[in-house]
Amino acid sequence: MRRIRNTSLTIDTSNTPVSPALYGNKRVVLILSNTSLAGEIIAISVGSEAVLGQGIVLNQNDKMTLTSDGSYLPPVEQINAIASVGTATLSVYEETE
């Protein structure tokens, strides 16, 4: 059975868990969007603590899309994020099965 999660998270300047590791399940779709309004930058890390300026960097309005039918499979490891300043908004859409 496919489960869908569609939410917005507030990311601050410390490591913030975005999605837990999956055991016995897999992600089939993962879309992360920086929907911040004031130019904040969000760094995404898979399987380790997020560090600003490393990993996947999303500027304002940037989006990362991973699908099981695309060229990059969505990871099953925990996903973490950190913001450049203050707080930033990260929209998360994921489908798991």
Provide the domain limits for residue 68: 3-96
Q: Give the residue-averaged pLDDT of 39-61.
A: 96
User: Domains in the chain: how many in total?
Assistant: 1
Alpha carbon distance 39, 41 (integer Å): 6
Using pLDDT thresholds of 50, 70 and 90, give the confidence band for residue 94.
very high
Average pLDDT of the chain is 94
For the domain that residue 11 is a member of, what is the CATH number? 2.60.120.770
C-beta separation of 59 from 34 below 8 A: yes
Residue 90 has pLDDT above 90, yes or no: yes
Q: Are strands 88-96 and 27-34 parallel, antiparallel or unpaired?
A: antiparallel
CA distance 68 to 27: 8
Collapsing DSSP states into helix, strand and coil, what is residue 12? Answer: coil
pLDDT at 9: 97
